[in-house]
A and B are shown apart, each in its own frame.
Chain A
Amino acid sequence: SQTIHQWPATLVQPVGSPLSLECTVEGTSNPNLYWYRQAAGRGLQLLFYSVGIGQISSEVPQNLSASRPQDRQFILSSKKLLLSDSGFYLCAWGSSYEQYFGPGTRLTVT
């Protein structure tokens, strides 16, 4: 069966520091992968999606970037974090039929 992992579960980082969040999927090949941010009162916002290795589409211009170095690995990064980057980040894989979400990472930028 397919599983999706995210780490770390929680992260506290100072403003201006770099960020790297990792997401991996098992049990499926060539999945569509997604990064979302879940903010209180603002719902679920799609940040990036990828349909294959090295193929990244950005939905919202911001301080973050994404990369897909391997088929089942999706990384969310930042060179310098802002206070506004705080939030709950969700990785997902799926298709038009359904999205499967990871457990999420709670990021607090101080």
Chain B
Amino acid sequence: AQRVTQPEKLLSVFKGAPVELKCNYSYSGSPELFWYVQYSRQRLQLLLRHISRESIKGFTADLNKGETSFHLKKPFAQEEDSAMYYCALYNYGQNFVFGPGTRLSVLP
């Protein structure tokens, strides 16, 4: 069965510190993985997708098939990065499977 796990419910870092939001998945095929973000009082929205190999707002995520991970990283956290982050997997059955989410709090 497809599953996405995010071990940290809450992650607090200081401004300027590196941040890594962990995501692990279980899927039998070749996964398509995404990170979604929800800022305060805003809609849930796509942050980045692994197939694009892009960097958005300084965030990057690398798919590690050996470790079945898709961790989200940023070298220098900013206060405006504080938000709820969801890792998600597309299972080719028209469905997305979302992780439980990690709330990132960037302290001044």
A and B associate: yes
B9 within 8 A of partner (CB)? yes
The stretch from A20-28, A63-71, A74-82, A99-107 touching chain B is A99-107
B residues 14-47 near A (Cβ < 8 Å) are 32, 34, 36, 43-46
Q: Are A98 and B49 in contact (CB under 8 A)?
A: yes
Give CA–CA (A44, B101) in the complex, Å: 8
The secondary structure that dominates the A interface is strand
Classify chain B: how many residues form its interface, as a range: 20 to 34
A104 to B88, CA, bound (A): 19
How many A-B pairs have beta carbons closer than 8 Å: the answer is 45
Q: State whether the Cβ of B76 lies closer than 8 Å to any Cβ in chain A.
A: no
A35 adjacent to chain B (CB < 8 Å)? no
**B-contacting residues, A42-80, CB 8 Å:** 42-46, 49, 51, 57, 59
> Which residues of chain B in 60-96 are interfacial with respect to chain A, using CB atoms and an 8 Å cutoff?
86, 88, 90, 92, 94-96
Tell me whether A46 and B98 are in contact (CB under 8 A): yes
Residue of B nearest to A98 (CB): B46
* Interface SS of B by simple majority: strand
> Which residues of chain B have C-beta atoms less than 8 A from A101's C-beta?
43-45
Cα-based distance from A3 to B46 in the complex (angstroms): 15
CA of A43 to CA of B44 in the docked complex: distance in angstroms?
12
Assess whether A41 is in contact with B43, with CB atoms less than 8 Å apart.
no
Q: Say yes or no: is A32 at the interface (Cβ < 8 Å to chain B).
A: yes
Contact A49:B94 (CB < 8 A) given known A96-B32, A101-B45: yes
Q: Is B56 an interface residue (CB 8 A)?
A: no
B95 touches A46 (CB 8 A): yes
Give 23 CB contacts A-B under 8 Å.
A32-B94, A34-B96, A42-B100, A43-B98, A43-B99, A43-B100, A43-B101, A44-B44, A44-B86, A44-B88, A49-B94, A57-B94, A90-B44, A96-B32, A97-B49, A98-B34, A98-B46, A98-B49, A99-B88, A101-B44, A101-B45, A103-B43, A104-B43
A residues near B (Cβ < 8 Å) are 32, 34, 36, 41-46, 49, 51, 57, 59, 90, 96-99, 101-104
